[in-house]
Amino acid sequence: MAELRFDDLPLDLAFTDVRGDGARVLALFGDPQDPYTRRLVRDELTQVEDLTVHTLLLPLEIYPGSDDLARRIWAAPDRAAAWYRWMLEEIPPEQEADPHAPIARLRLAAEELRVLSTPTLVFPGGEMMAGATPAPEIERLLSGR
């Protein structure tokens, strides 16, 4: 498991979703077309309560249409709602793609942080986990164990 400083994340380029009291925090580098990101969001993160998720869009070139979809999510008035509507129900955002979405900046930041794949979770303690991490493992890392 790799480590980095949570404070080094470009959270100014993230959108945030708070569930429950939001006391526990993590960041997610995710590709809207990646089936592993979808599985993590749909099957694992929905099981974790009292969570704040900072999502950083990281469309990968291996998934056709990913860049356009990420830019459409970025253009939505409520980015988190558009993301979850897509990830949970496969309902695409109605907005046109935002040509000014900070996708290039997010890709550069991911490269500098050595985020090599999606999904990648980053925890406040600096732990970084790639892949569709199971909910019990997410719970363990959020509790600092």
Q: Which domains does the chain have, with CATH numbers?
A: 2-142 (3.40.30.10)
Q: Are strands 15-19 and 51-57 parallel, antiparallel or unpaired?
A: antiparallel
Q: What is the pLDDT of residue 54?
A: 98
Tell me the pLDDT tens digit for each residue of 40-74. Answer: 999 999 999 999 999 999 999 899 999 999 999 99
Q: What is the pLDDT of residue 4?
A: 78
Q: What is the pLDDT of residue 2?
A: 61
Q: Where are the alpha helices (DSSP H) in the chain?
A: 35-39, 66-75, 79-89, 103-112, 135-142
pLDDT lower than 70: segments of the chain = 1-3, 145
